[in-house]
């Protein structure tokens, strides 16, 4: 293992050295050619040093370490002395001002190399920290999602198994009304499981590497109408008051994913608000962005859950709706989808219930 690491270390050092050498040589050669052309056309040597000074600024930017800049400074002074100072193509270390020129160019090289190296180091540290934060966030979301899955899927599965077993064991003792009630509950549980599977499959459409989605310009009105239609197919008794935008709006999105978000939000509002009043779905334009709102008139969201409601944590409410259909998976997936679109999702309580809204950036705001 030690030999392998040693070979890898030497191989990396060798590659860095070769890259530094080639980049330094290329830049100095290019600057020398330009300086020579300038010298031939102007027959002057006053500004030749400035060409090499520019090279000393660029070399640390494209190389690693201090050595390339220091070597470039020495070579630059030598080129000025040998190629562009009379008598040409000969060395003259006794000419006036030569030590000052050499010292100034050396200071420039060291200073620029130090600043560039520090900037690169800080950029690497920031990139590493950002990567760690993203990984930690992914792990947190994954853990919360698993907890939500265990909570939101176990209950309907238990219900299906229990109801079907009771039906088979006590079929002759059950009334027709009771049988229909048990079959109805089995159907509801099966539909709820299907919804959860759809949500989990939705996440797989989001690329894990870039955490982004394939977007195209879609009309906001059609997405809202289609989401309501799909909700009513799933929950015929759901009442939704839709307010469409006054103007025709198109924004970049994955229409099916945004429809899934709206369905999840409206479904949560239906089951958890416990209100006979219709929920509201509307959209508002904010510059080039569009904000979608789902507003209910029910019990609202517990204040201590407003900040963590999208983290995928399973609910443990005492009511039937809370224990039967937790909000964990659906809202966690909503957050994942909206984040992949470069938007934000929030929740708050109003005087008569709760409201969840999310914003999708327009073309000029894409991240």
pLDDT band of residue 44 (cuts 50, 70, 90) is low
Q: What is the pLDDT of residue 213?
A: 73
Q: What is the pLDDT of residue 209?
A: 45
Q: How far apart are CA 293 and CA 282, in angstroms?
A: 5
Q: How far apart are CA 106 and CA 267, in angstroms?
A: 69
Q: What is the pTM of this model?
A: 0.55
Q: What percent of the chain has pLDDT over 70?
A: 80
For Cα atoms 187, 193, 197, give the angle at the middle one, nearest 5 degrees.
145
Q: What is the pLDDT of residue 321?
A: 42
Q: Are residues 192 and 300 located together in one domain of the fold?
A: yes
279 assigned to some structural domain: yes
Lowest-confidence segment of 131-135, 243-247, 278-282, 338-342 by average pLDDT = 131-135
Lowest-confidence segment of 53-62, 263-272, 335-344, 348-357 by average pLDDT = 53-62
Q: 199-207 contacts: CB < 8 A, separation 24 or more?
A: 199/260, 199/264, 199/329, 199/330, 199/333, 200/149, 200/329, 200/333, 202/257, 202/260, 202/333, 202/337, 203/333, 203/336, 205/254, 205/257, 206/257, 206/336, 206/337, 206/340
116 assigned to some structural domain: no
Residue span of the structural domain in which 23 resides? 2-95
Q: Are residues 208 and 287 located together in one domain of the fold?
A: yes
Q: 22-28 contacts: CB < 8 A, separation 24 or more?
A: 23/59, 23/62, 23/63, 23/68, 24/59, 24/63, 24/68, 24/71, 24/72, 27/55, 27/58, 27/59, 27/62, 27/72, 28/52, 28/55, 28/59, 28/72, 28/75, 28/76, 28/79
Report the number of distinct structural domains present in the chain: 2
Which of 326 and 261 is assigned the larger pLDDT? 261
Q: What is the pLDDT of residue 265?
A: 93
* For residue 26, pLDDT beyond 80: yes
Q: Which of 21, 32, 16 is nearest to 59 (CA)?
A: 21
The stretch 56-74 carries a mean pLDDT of 79
314 assigned to some structural domain: yes
The stretch 288-295 carries a mean pLDDT of 94
Dihedral of the CA atoms 329, 331, 336, 340 (nearest 10)?
150
101 assigned to some structural domain: no
Which of 346 and 74 is assigned the larger pLDDT? 346
Give the best-scoring range by mean pLDDT among 9-18, 43-52, 61-70, 179-188: 179-188
Q: What is the pLDDT of residue 150?
A: 66
Q: Are residues 184 and 328 located together in one domain of the fold?
A: yes
Q: Are residues 287 and 214 located together in one domain of the fold?
A: yes
- The CATH number of the domain holding residue 196 is 3.30.565.10
105 assigned to some structural domain: no
Q: 152-155 contacts: CB < 8 A, separation 24 or more?
A: 152/196, 152/314, 152/325, 152/326, 152/328, 152/329, 153/193, 153/196, 155/323, 155/324, 155/325, 155/326
* For residue 47, pLDDT beyond 70: yes
Q: Are residues 208 and 330 located together in one domain of the fold?
A: yes
Lowest-confidence segment of 33-42, 118-127, 213-222, 289-298 by average pLDDT = 118-127
Which of 212 and 214 is assigned the larger pLDDT? 214
Q: Are residues 222 and 286 located together in one domain of the fold?
A: yes
Which of 223 and 212 is assigned the larger pLDDT? 223
Specify the DSSP element, H or E, that contains 14.
Answer: helix 2-42
117 assigned to some structural domain: no
309 assigned to some structural domain: yes
Which of 187 and 326 is assigned the larger pLDDT? 187
* Encoded tokens for 74: 């020495």
**What are the tens digits of pLDDT across the range 94-117?**
666 667 766 776 677 677 777 777
Q: What is the pLDDT of residue 102?
A: 66
Q: What is the pLDDT of residue 67?
A: 79
Q: Are residues 209 and 74 located together in one domain of the fold?
A: no
Q: Are residues 37 and 144 located together in one domain of the fold?
A: no
* Encoded tokens for 21: 């050498």
**What are the tens digits of pLDDT across the range 138-150?**
676 666 666 666 6
Which of 300 and 149 is assigned the larger pLDDT? 300
Q: Are residues 167 and 276 located together in one domain of the fold?
A: yes
Domain boundary among 42, 65, 95: 95
SS3 217: strand
Q: What is the pLDDT of residue 223?
A: 94
324 assigned to some structural domain: yes
Domain boundary among 35, 70, 95: 95
Q: How far apart are CA 272 and CA 277, in angstroms?
A: 13
Q: What is the pLDDT of residue 239?
A: 92
Domain boundary among 95, 129, 152: 95
The stretch 145-174 carries a mean pLDDT of 78
Q: What is the pLDDT of residue 43?
A: 61
The stretch 20-36 carries a mean pLDDT of 89
* Encoded tokens for 284: 């508002």
Q: Are residues 183 and 262 located together in one domain of the fold?
A: yes
């Amino acid at each position: 293992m030690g030999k392998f690491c040693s070979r890898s270390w030497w191989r990396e050092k060798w590659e860095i050295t070769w890259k530094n050498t080639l980049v330094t040589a290329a830049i100095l050669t290019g600057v020398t050619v330009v300086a020579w052309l300038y010298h031939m056309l102007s027959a002057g040597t006053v500004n030749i040093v400035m060409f090499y000074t520019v090279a000393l600024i660029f070399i640390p930017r494209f190389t690693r370490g201090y050595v390339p800049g220091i070597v470039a400074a020495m070579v630059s002074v030598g080129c000025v002395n040998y190629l562009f100072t009379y008598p040409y193509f000969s060395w003259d270390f006794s000419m006036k001002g030569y030590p000052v020129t050499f010292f100034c160019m050396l200071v420039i090289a060291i200073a620029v190399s130090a600043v560039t190296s520090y900037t690169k180091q800080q950029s690497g540290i920031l990139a590493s920290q950002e990567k760690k934060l993203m990984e930690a966030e992914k792990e947190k979301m994954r853990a919360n999602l698993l907890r939500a899955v265990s909570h939101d899927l176990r209950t309907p599965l238990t219900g299906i198994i229990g109801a079907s077993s009771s039906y088979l064991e006590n079929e002759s003792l059950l009334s027709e009304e009771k049988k229909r009630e048990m079959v109805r509950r089995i159907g509801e549980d099966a539909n709820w499981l299907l919804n959860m599977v759809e949500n989990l499959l939705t996440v797989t459409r989001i690329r894990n590497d870039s955490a982004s989605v394939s977007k195209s310009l879609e009309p906001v009105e059609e997405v809202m109408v289609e989401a309501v239609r799909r909700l009513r197919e799933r929950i015929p008794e759901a009442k939704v008051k839709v307010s469409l935008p006054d103007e025709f709006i198109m924004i970049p999105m994955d229409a099916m994913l945004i429809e899934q978000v709206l369905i999840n939000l409206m479904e949560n509002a239906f089951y958890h608000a416990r209100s006979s009043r219709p929920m509201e779905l509307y959209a508002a334009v904010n510059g080039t962005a569009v904000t979608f709102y789902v507003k209910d008139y029910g019990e609202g969201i517990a204040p201590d859950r407003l900040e963590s409601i999208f983290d995928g944590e399973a609910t443990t409410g005492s009511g039937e709706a809370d224990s039967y259909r937790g909000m964990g998976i659906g809202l966690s997936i909503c957050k994942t989808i909206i984040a992949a679109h470069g938007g934000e999702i929030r929740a708050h309580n109003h005087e008569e219930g709760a409201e969840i809204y999310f914003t999708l950036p327009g073309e000029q705001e894409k991240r």
